[in-house]
Structure 1
Amino acid sequence: MIIEPHIHMVSRTTDDYRAMAMHGIAIVTEPAFWPGYDRRTAAGFADYFEQLTVAEPVRAAKFGISHHCWLGLNPKEAVDLGLALEVLEILPEYLDRPTVLGLGEIGLNRNGRNEIKVLEWQVELAARRNELILVHTPHLEDKLKGTRLILDIIGADSRISTDRVLIDHAEEHTVDLILEKGFWAGITLYPHSKCSADRAVDILETSGCERIWLNSAADWGVSNPLAVVEAGEEMRRRGFSEEAISGVLFRNPAAFLGQSPRFKVQC
């Protein structure tokens, strides 16, 4: 059994669900994200949250896949503070739904002042509600700076245990920093802006397999919903044991996600 812990299935076809099921992916978790354009109203976010919590679990179940989600305001849409406040007002209603695991993906994109403010607001909400947190880190040259800012912001809140926060899109220059601070790390297998399978397995060879998961973040861009499966094959090719492969592709995400009472594994 494989868990795909970060994938945007609202952008994928039913054929993708079928292929994932055939390759052993039994559970997916889907963070709220940017759809390729900026939503203009809180009502637009409400419709999206409805899709994630109602429609998508039904679609996944047709292929024997369990679907959970994360809700929040993605950093790419966190520039308009007025709209952000409106979204955060309606967010708690949806966070109480039975397939929601916590806040995500929240974080930083360009490390701007308004993005930081919205991240602080959402961290406060997560702390008050004792929610798990899934964090988006910036891409390319701003990743190290943004990751440090994120770790400082979340780490400053004594109500939040680092065990309950996963910092995603980690790469060679950030993964050890994340792990040393006590957080979980996600490595994203996505062409161009994130890691290839080869690079991801290089990181596992140098940083170890503890407190790390792999995900595809597959969405409307050039991406692969079977990227986690292919990374497992690359681990096998390099001589990782079946226990180590299962640990990264199943037990690690199950351990982190299992901190939510709403996450259930059905073998």
Structure 2
Amino acid sequence: MVERSYYAPKGGLPPQTQLLSDRAVFTEAYAVIPKGVLRDIVASYLPFWEETRLWVLSRPLSGFAETFSQYIMEVGPGGGSDRPEQQAGVEGVLFLVEGELTLTLEGATHVMRPGGYAFIPPDSNWSVRNHGAEPVRFHWIRKAYEYVDGLGVPEGFVTNENDIEPTPMPDTDGRWATTRFVDPADLRHDMHVTVVTFQPGGVIPFDEMHVMEHGLYVLEGKGVYHLNQDWVEVEAGDYMWLRAFCPQACYAGGPGPFRYLLYKDVNRHMTLGRPGG
């Protein structure tokens, strides 16, 4: 088994001697939230979560994310929630980066460790608890599920990326690969959350422009992204939001793999408004 590394924020506050300038960028096409931004004073809290704080990486907002929200959750010893999701019709993905989390999903108990992945269907009965002595940190991606007449809702499941063989992209000699947690042909799913891995020197060799909105959290390594008209350096702990059709390409900087957790919305018609409505 390959030994994986996952970056997790710890909060804190920089010293008063630190320079103010950083790599944070917010534009109409993309945003970069560097790891140094995730400090104590920007943490949030949620109802019915004990011993828990979180950092909101994206949320539906005019000129920002439209289809999803993404949090980094930090659950202290003994913490968790028996009422984690407050909104009806919302699906979720949990991806664990640090610690050990006990997830109960529809009566079945799962112990999740780093690399652990859980898909939670809309309106599921679920809860989470940290029974350990150290904090647990995980990503929680939420999306309002888009129901389709004639298609059922996908079942919930729990797995770990270390148990899944990555799929190499064609004609890349394995330098670019994607760990997929659901079958791309299963149209019941309206979002994909994957782990993308570039070996040193690996590239996306053209500017992708597509309808999917993206959230990218760098789990490991460093790279350079071409976003819209700009070249942006990113490293483990940084987060990027990419608007639909934002030009995007990258190369891995080495010396180790460049890996990120990727969200995108998929498999649904474009919702159209009525003329004059």
TM-score after normalising by structure 2: 0.33
TM-score after normalising by structure 1: 0.34
Larger proportion of helix: 1
Larger proportion of strand: 2
